[in-house]
């Protein structure tokens, strides 16, 4: 027997015929590293140390011949894992805690992996853990990384099944992936979306940094982040920069320090009115007129543990049921656990309806706060003759005068009179400083006012979609005048460049912009080629998220309708051009039915014949011997089938063991007095071993292992 043949005769995954070799353990560990890499951006980094410790222990165990990890060591490892995750997340009931537990158990499984069955379990857990990685993200890098991990895990399974070499293992893995790709594409296009794995609740994740309570300085912190809030594409006219006010929260309660939102349930309980007076569920807003110009946008929303939906101005109509609030904000029925598409029509203007809470509610102020601001409001009111519009104009003009300045690094304000401290002492701030001061001064003059928190602007990409990020967060004021809400934005007075170009255009405190995203590609916006690469990648990623991740029931229905329409158009074209269209159509239809029926009948007959032949021992063994002969391992003259299979087994590589089993089963069926049940089991086992030989038999010919060997 040649050295190469001897090497092929022993499965490469086994060290002694039963236990796993160091090479196979290394294969499994590399697979663990690939799967772990998909999670590390969201999971604790010490899991990588756990993987290294487990792999190092197994390496030392193999090198020094140490005994297997005992039950006490394994229980201690699992207990330590649970304790570490508890300390990390505070609970194991959260999604991150459960994912961390699955990942840790997957890494610890290598401690008790000693044979083929254990290795297969490790690979299966790896496949599940790879799928769970999409709970974190569904972007292109995650999909590419998951494909690489799955390919490696499948290759490990092929090795465990007896591949004769690395090249054969990768070839069969690639063949499996290629064969499965059309089926995956067909299922993706046609199968109803039943809610993918990543739609499980993730209540601890929020996409935007906005909250429903703000105080001066809160939004300034968001200028340090480049996190994406949502993306939008418009049908028809796009809004101009001064129309891109994205409404998220309406804040009507002021306690002297912070502005906060009051829920419809809280308003109903406080004012003694039904909840329906403040919110309604549907696809159209009952509070707004749908006449006049409006903008139609498709929003690609990021996952968020809160149910808020941004709208360009006042929401009017959506493609799915939402909660329309009377204060002009939009809320989803549930939080978003994955990226989602929302088609929304909105007005880009403040709400035209009166707040059901009433004008008195939007004039409430604490009596004992900000005395200097109150004195200033009284003076301006007198100077303008008690005219609300003139008073508001004077207030806004005051913000535009020196020494007030707009800065991304505002001073921190403390104490109970923060509006006083801003207007008379620091006189420098971000949008929330000016919005809070303007709303307070309007209420002090008896004018209903409220603060709106959301986003302003967004980066327009060359393909037409807009990306809105955390640093686009903004706050402005709405006042009730002449039967409608009117938008007042002090930022437009003191820093008009913020409205036109975004926060990056503000020079004062510019070092704070993107300070928490030091490696963001947005820092290279001024470098032409780098910015073009960034925009191209974001365009590709947007199309991926919108077309693949955002493929929902409506998209599937639209595609199916297009296919049916195309088939009908093709059929109509044939009918119009063939002579005797009615007769020809009937003939073609009958021909298609006959061909399909004949094909099904042939497949059924062939399947029945194949199943009957599989029970014929002579037919099975004859086909196997013919296959061996084509590999140069034919039978000698006068040699029995069992003797032939045993003789060529050493030259058959990983199929040798199955050939010996075939020979044993064949002799038992031929000579042993077996009961019918045992005979049936032996025939079934023989068929399985023959199939195993066909899978594992090397493709190369063996000139020295033929009839003359």
In sequence order, which ranges of 631-707 are alpha helices (DSSP H)?
A: 641-648, 656-671, 676-696
How far apart CA 233 and CA 545 sit, in angstroms, is 13
For strand 466-469 and strand 228-235, is the pairing parallel, antiparallel, or unpaired? Answer: antiparallel
How far apart CA 60 and CA 49 sit, in angstroms, is 16
8 Å CB contact between 452 and 251: yes
8 Å CB contact between 365 and 444: yes
How far apart CA 405 and CA 407 sit, in angstroms, is 6
Q: Which residue has the tokens 């701030």?
A: 429
Q: Which residue has the tokens 């929902």?
A: 552
8 Å CB contact between 693 and 651: no
How far apart CA 229 and CA 204 sit, in angstroms, is 16
What's the maximum distance between 2 C-alpha atoms anywhere in the chain?
123
Cβ burial, residue 117 (10 Å; 0-12/13-18/19+):
exposed
User: Got the DSSP string for 349-377?
Assistant: S---SPPTT-TTGGG---TTS-HHHHHHH
How far apart CA 597 and CA 603 sit, in angstroms, is 10
Give me the helix-helix angle, 617-630 and 581-614, nearest 10°.
100
How far apart CA 248 and CA 544 sit, in angstroms, is 26
Residues designated as active site: 431, 474, 489
How far apart CA 171 and CA 165 sit, in angstroms, is 10
């Amino acid at each position: 027997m040649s050295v190469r043949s001897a090497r092929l005769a022993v499965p490469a995954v086994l060290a002694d015929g039963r236990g796993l070799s160091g090479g196979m353990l290394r294969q499994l560990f590399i697979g663990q590293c690939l799967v772990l890499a998909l999670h590390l951006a969201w999971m604790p980094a010490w899991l990588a140390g756990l993987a290294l410790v487990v792999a190092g222990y197994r390496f030392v165990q193999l090198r020094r011949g140490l005994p297997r990890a005992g039950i006490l060591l394994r229980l201690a490892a699992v207990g330590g894992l649970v304790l570490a995750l508890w300390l990390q997340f505070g609970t194991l009931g959260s999604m991150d805690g459960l994912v961390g537990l699955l990942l840790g158990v997957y890494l610890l499984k290598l401690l008790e992996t000693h044979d083929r069955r254990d290795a297969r379990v490790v690979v299966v857990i790896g496949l599940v853990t790879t799928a769970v990685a999409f709970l974190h993200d569904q972007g292109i890098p995650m999909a590419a990384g998951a494909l690489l991990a799955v390919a490696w895990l499948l290759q490990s399974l092929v090795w465990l099944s007896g591949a004769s070499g690395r090249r054969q293992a990768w070839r069969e893995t690639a063949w499996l992936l290629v064969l499965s790709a059309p089926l995956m594409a067909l299922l993706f296009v046609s199968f109803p979306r039943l809610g993918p794995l990543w739609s499980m609740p993730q209540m601890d994740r929020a996409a935007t940094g906005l909250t429903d309570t703000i105080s001066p300085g809160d939004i300034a912190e968001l200028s340090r982040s480049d996190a994406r809030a949502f993306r939008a594409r418009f049908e028809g006219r796009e809004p101009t920069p001064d129309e891109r006010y994205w409404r998220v929260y309406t804040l009507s309660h002021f306690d002297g320090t912070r502005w906060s939102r009051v829920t419809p349930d809280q308003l109903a309980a406080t004012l003694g009115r039904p909840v329906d007076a403040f919110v309604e569920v549907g696809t159209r807003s009952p509070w707004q007129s749908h006449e006049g110009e409006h903008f139609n946008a498709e929003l690609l929303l990021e996952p968020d543990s809160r149910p808020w939906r941004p709208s360009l101005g006042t929401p009017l109509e959506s493609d799915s049921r939402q909660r329309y609030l009377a204060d002009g904000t939009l809320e989803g029925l549930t939080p978003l656990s994955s990226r989602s598409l929302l088609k929304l029509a909105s007005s880009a203007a403040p709400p035209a309806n009166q707040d059901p809470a009433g004008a008195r509610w939007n004039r409430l102020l604490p009596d004992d706060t900000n005395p200097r601001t109150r004195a200033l409001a009284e003076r301006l009111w007198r100077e303008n003759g008690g005219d609300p519009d003139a008073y508001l104009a004077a207030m806004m003009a005051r913000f535009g005068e020196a020494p007030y300045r707009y800065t991304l690094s505002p001073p921190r304000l403390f104490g109970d009179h923060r509006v006083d401290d801003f207007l008379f002492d620091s006189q420098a701030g971000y949008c929330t400083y000016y919005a809070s001061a303007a709303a307070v001064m309007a209420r002090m003059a008896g004018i209903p006012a409220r603060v709106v928190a959301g986003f302003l602007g967004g980066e327009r990409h060359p393909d037409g979609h807009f990306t809105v990020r955390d640093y686009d967060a903004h706050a402005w004021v709405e006042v009730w005048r002449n039967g409608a809400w009117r938008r007042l934005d002090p930022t437009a007075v003191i820093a008009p460049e913020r409205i036109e170009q975004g926060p990056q255009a503000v020079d004062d405190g510019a070092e704070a912009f993107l300070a928490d995203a030091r490696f963001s590609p947005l820092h290279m916006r001024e470098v032409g080629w780098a910015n073009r690469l960034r925009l191209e990648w974001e365009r590709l990623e947007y199309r991926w998220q919108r077309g693949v991740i955002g493929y929902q029931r409506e998209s599937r229905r639209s595609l199916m309708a297009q296919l049916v329409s195309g088939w009908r158009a093709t059929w109509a074209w044939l009918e119009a051009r063939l002579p005797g269209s009615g007769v020809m159509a009937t003939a073609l239809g009958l021909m298609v039915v006959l061909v399909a029926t004949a094909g099904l009948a042939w497949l059924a007959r062939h399947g029945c014949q194949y199943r009957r032949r599989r029970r014929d021992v002579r037919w099975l063994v004859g086909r196997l011997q013919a296959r061996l002969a084509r590999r140069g391992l034919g039978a000698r003259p006068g040699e029995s089938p069992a003797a032939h299979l045993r003789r060529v087994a050493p030259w058959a590589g990983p199929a040798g063991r199955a050939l010996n089993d075939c020979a044993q089963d064949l002799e038992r069926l031929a000579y042993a007095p077996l009961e019918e049940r045992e005979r049936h089991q032996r025939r079934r086992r023989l068929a399985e071993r023959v199939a195993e030989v066909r899978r594992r038999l090397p493709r190369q010919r063996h000139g020295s292992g033929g009839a003359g060997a």
